[in-house]
Structure 1
Amino acid sequence: MRTLENTAPVNGNYPSSIVRATIVQASTVYNDTPKTIDKAKMFIEEAASKGSELVVFPEAFIGGYPRGFRFGIAVGVHNDEGRDEFRKYHASAIHVPGPEVEQLADMARKNNVYLVMGAIEKDGYTLYCTALFFSSEERCIWGYGDGSTIPVYDTPLGKLGAAICWENRMPLYRTALYAKGVEIYCAPTADGTKEWQSSMMHIALEGGCFVLSACQFCQRKDFPDHPDYLFTDSEDNKEHDAIVSPGGSVIISPLGKVLAGPNFESEGLITADLDFGDIARAKLYFDVVGHYSKPDVFNLTVNEHPKKPVTFVSKAVKVEDDSESQNK
């Protein structure tokens, strides 16, 4: 396990707020959510012992990112083995709210940290890739899939928001977060490519915000043993210690400076001190939703109303028959 840190002193003599933030780069314990929760607890406690006030976990850390899983599906084909594989994956997902959420809230409270946790959430038999936010006092939010669940929280650490994985490549999604004033932009992801680093650098410069990209570091041995798994697009390495997800977690400042990471080598913590004075320094020249926004030409409308798949409309009062009312 490797720990990367950057705790450089504040530049100049200007007063500014400093927040110590940590990314946890680690693998899920697949098909074992209690052990995954225990692993999260270990890393949260280690980060808190280093003085971190914010701890960010990768996409789908609770429940697991199903890299390589096929669930027995091919065009026109389904099988019992694949169905049972999905049953196990569904069992590893969590209810929100639920006991695992309460455990995570308790960890955040006891360690006095703000926590962003990637999780697979289940609602009935449908699974959602979710980002859970916890303050050091209580759970902040849960949600899925519509404009009502694009929050930016005004916390004592700064304005905190998140986009999951390739949502970060959606310009309009990013713009909604910028417009809500995001200062600490969390990017839980499963994309461990070096190209991903370019996207994170761009977002930091575009949004004038700190970017914390958290990705799992996984080896083949971290996954359930299954001969049908295919983890890469090229020839698959079936060695026990083969790297399946290389991580690459990184923390970038609003000025485009890499503060810590990327780590492509091991599990571990990536920690940096965030100087909030850098936000003003960055936005002097470019503010994407401020003085550089061109509202005379461009406009974005965000629908924040919840979208439900099923809506029931009940007739509370029976309508009086017209013929009867005319005879009265």
Structure 2
Amino acid sequence: MSQPNHLKVALAQIAPVWGDRDATIEKIKTAIIEAASNDAELIVFGEGLLPGYPYWLSLTDGAAWDTKVVKELHAHYTRNAVDIERGDLQEICVLAQNYNIAIYLGIIEKPMDRGGASLYCSLVYIDQEGVIQSVHRKLQPTYDERLTWAPGDGHGLRVHPLKQFTVGGLNCWENWMPLPRAAMYAQGENLHIAVWPGSDYNTKDITRFIARESRSYVISVSSRMAIATDFPKETPHLQEVLKRAPEVSSNGGSCIAGPDGEFILPPDITTEGNIYHTLDFNKVYEERQNFDPSGHYSRPDVTQLTVNRERQWVVKFND
């Protein structure tokens, strides 16, 4: 067990078995068990890892209206999305409890509270007792993602205690949105989790910027994926997907920046598997001495942010 002010983290830079929920869960479980055997206390997986990012949209004319290829790929993707209420994450929660390890996991969610058919890019936090503490649905899908993902809500803009740290997370380009970042800072966040589908292009700048702006640790975690090898042969219309597929669709780029805004672990585009590091909470206090965005360097009498954290429902029943 590490010291109280230390937290050992694992960055799970792995590929999904694309579009296969059950097979991807097995890879996730393997990564968790390995992390626990290396004394990690938190493991983070990339955006939408379970069951994968919707790469086909940019490869099969995803904006075309009413085409067989796009509709059947979307249906396959939906069948393999995660139904939390049904217990799809139960095995992962059990591992968290058994190994006393917290988990941030990017999933594609098909929640029953929105009918069970629309998809949301969600970031799930499971605590060290195996309890799902928050499910953050991505506020604004980016560009072609909107063709398959629905916009989320503010319900999951929450932080969680983890040893001496206060941890929170956002999905991909949400990390570029100033107001959601401010909402996390105001709740005392000092370990920020940024999950990405997989590219050092995204992580190399914003990771350090958020760390310097917030005077917090920032962990960016991305997947690695080669489309030619990581799409199962059972994927609908696979040959159409592969026609324009690059050799590598996600090169990773997972990294960690410290509260001073400098890289502790620069973007990694080579590792396939878990990347480990131990964080020292004292560094947060050191950097907050001269700047604290929600404390002594804020002016709530001049500017304030209002956040609606109500889960959005289409119908409210007064039974």
TM bin (shorter chain): 0.7 to 0.9
Contact residue 165 and residue 191 of structure 1 kept, 8 A: no
Q: Which amino acid aligns with 2:312?
A: K
- Report percent identity of matched pairs: 31
Asked if residue 197 in structure 1 is aligned to residue 210 in structure 2, the reply is no
Q: Which amino acid aligns with 2:30?
A: M
Q: Secondary structure at the match of 1:40?
A: helix
Q: Secondary structure at the match of 1:211?
A: strand
Q: Secondary structure at the match of 2:308?
A: coil
- Using structure 2 for the length normalisation, give the TM-score: 0.85
Residues 291 and 45 (structure 1), Cα distance of their counterparts in 2 relative to 1, 3 Å cut: same
Trace 1:57-206 onto structure 2 (pairs within 5 A): 57-69=45-57, 73-75=62-64, 77-123=65-111, 124-139=116-131, 140-142=133-135, 144=137, 145-206=152-213
Alpha-carbon offset, residue 189 of structure 1: 1.0
* Map of 1:222 onto structure 2: 230
Contact residue 13 and residue 275 of structure 2 kept, 8 A: yes
- Using structure 1 for the length normalisation, give the TM-score: 0.82
Segment drifting more, 221-230 vs 31-40: 221-230
Residues 84 and 278 (structure 1), Cα distance of their counterparts in 2 relative to 1, 3 Å cut: same
| 1:255-305 C-alpha deviation (Å, 9 max, x unpaired) | 123222421123122211110001011111111111112334322111223
Residues 255 and 172 (structure 1), Cα distance of their counterparts in 2 relative to 1, 3 Å cut: same
Asked if residue 244 in structure 1 is aligned to residue 249 in structure 2, the reply is yes
Contact residue 216 and residue 259 of structure 2 kept, 8 A: yes
* Map of 2:147 onto structure 1: none
Alpha-carbon offset, residue 49 of structure 1: 1.3
Q: Secondary structure at the match of 2:206?
A: helix
Structure 1: gaps (5+ residues): 1-8, 10-14, 315-328
Give the length in aligned residue pairs.
293
Asked if residue 212 in structure 1 is aligned to residue 219 in structure 2, the reply is yes
Question: In 2, distance between residues paired with 1:16 and 1:142?
Answer: 27
Contact residue 211 and residue 252 of structure 1 kept, 8 A: yes
* Map of 1:325 onto structure 2: none
Q: CA RMSD in A?
A: 2.3
Q: Which amino acid aligns with 2:117?
A: Y
Alpha-carbon offset, residue 312 of structure 1: 4.8
Asked if residue 291 in structure 1 is aligned to residue 303 in structure 2, the reply is no
Question: In 1, distance between residues paired with 2:46 and 2:38?
Answer: 20
Contact residue 261 and residue 270 of structure 1 kept, 8 A: no
